Amino acid sequence: MSITLWGRRNSANVQKVSWLLAELEMRYEHILVGGSHGGLDAPEYLALNPNAKVPTLRDGELVLWESHAIVRYLSATYASGLLWPVEPRDRALVDQWTDWVATTYQPAWVGVFWDLVRTPPAQQNAEAIRKGVAETVRLQRMMDSRLAEVPYLAGEELTYADIVAGVSLYRWFTMPVDRSSLPHFEAWHERLRARKAFQEAVCVSYEELVGRLAF
Ligand SMILES: N[C@@H](CCC(=O)N[C@@H](CS)C(=O)NCC(=O)O)C(=O)O
Using H for helix, E for strand and C for coil, what is the string for the chain? CCEEEECCCCCHHHHHHHHHHHHCCCCCEEECCCHHHCCCCCHHHHHHCCCCCCCEEEECCEEEECHHHHHHHHHHHHCECCCECCCHHHHHHHHHHHHHHHHHHHHHHHHHHHHHHHCCHHHCCHHHHHHHHHHHHHHHHHHHHHHCCCCECCECCCCHHHHHHHCCHHHHCCCCCCCCCCHHHHHHHHHHHCCHHHHHHCCCCCHHHCCCCCC
Dist. CA 99 → ligand 1 center (Å): 16
pLDDT at 178: 86
* Domains in the chain, CATH or no CATH each: 3-78 (3.40.30.10), 88-203 (1.20.1050.10)
Q: What is the pLDDT of residues 162-182, one digit of tens each?
A: 999 999 999 999 999 988 899
Percentage of the residues of the chain whose pLDDT score is greater than 90: 97
pLDDT tens figures, 97-153? 999 999 999 999 999 999 999 999 999 999 999 999 999 999 999 999 999 999 999
Distance 89 CA to ligand 1 centre (A): 30
Q: Which atom of ligand 1 is nearest to the CA of 68?
A: 19
Residue 157 pLDDT exceeds 70: yes
Q: Could you report the per-residue pLDDT of 18-45, keeping only the tens digit for each? A: 999 999 999 999 999 999 999 999 999 9
> Is residue 11 in contact with ligand 1, taking CB distance under 6 Å?
yes
Q: How far is the CA of 201 from the centre of ligand 1 (A)?
A: 16
